[in-house]
Amino acid sequence: MAGGRIPKHDFLVWVLARVRLHVPLECPLCSTNMESRQHLFFDCAFSSEVWSFFYSRLHLLPPSLLDDGIRWLKDPSRDSNIVFIVRLAFQACIYGIWRERNTRLHSQVSRPAAVVISEICLILRAKLDILSREQRNLPSTVTYLSNWSLHFV
C-alpha cells in the first residue's frame, strides 16, 4: 500500500498513533465533552457520523477504541481491495475530522458532517481512480474503483 497512501493523511495518523496531537479542553466538534484523541476521533457524535457512513456501507463493525481500531486495520476484510479502501478511508476520515476541528478552532466556521463526508468521498474516489488505472494492467478484473462504486455510489 506504500504507493497508494495519501501522505498528509498518513502523517496525521502516524502523529495520532504516537499521542503527539495537542488538543484544547473542550471538543470543538460537539462542545459537550472534554477533547481527547479518543473522544475527538471516535466518541464524538460528529466523528461517529463520519465513521458510520463509511463502515456501514462496507458492512464492517470496527472496534470503538483507537488502539484496537489501528490493530483491526491489519485485517478488516478478506477482500484485499476492501482492505485497501478501509485503510485509505481510515486515514482520510482522521484527516477530515482533524481539518474540521482546526477550521472550527481557528475560523469559527463549522460545517455539518455530511459536508466533511462528501469531501472525503471526493478525495478517496480521485485516489482510487488513479490506482485503478494502474490495476487495469493486472490480470484481476475487480479494481479499487469498481469496489468503491459497488458500496458508495
pLDDT tens digits, 25-72: 789 999 999 988 899 999 999 999 999 999 999 999 888 898 898 899
Q: What SS3 state is found at 62?
A: coil
Quote the pLDDT of residue 14.
86
DSSP secondary structure letter of residue 40: I
Work out how many domains the chain is built from and give that number: 1
Confidence of residue 88 (pLDDT cuts 50, 70, 90): very high
- Rounded CA-CA distance 148/126 in Å is 11
- Rounded CA-CA distance 147/151 in Å is 7
Evaluate if residue 1 carries a pLDDT over 60.
no
Q: What are phi and psi of 24, to 5 degrees?
A: -75, 180
Range of the domain at 126: 2-152
Quote the pLDDT of residue 127.
95
Mean pLDDT of 69-92: 92
Which cell numbers in the block locate residue 7? 501522505
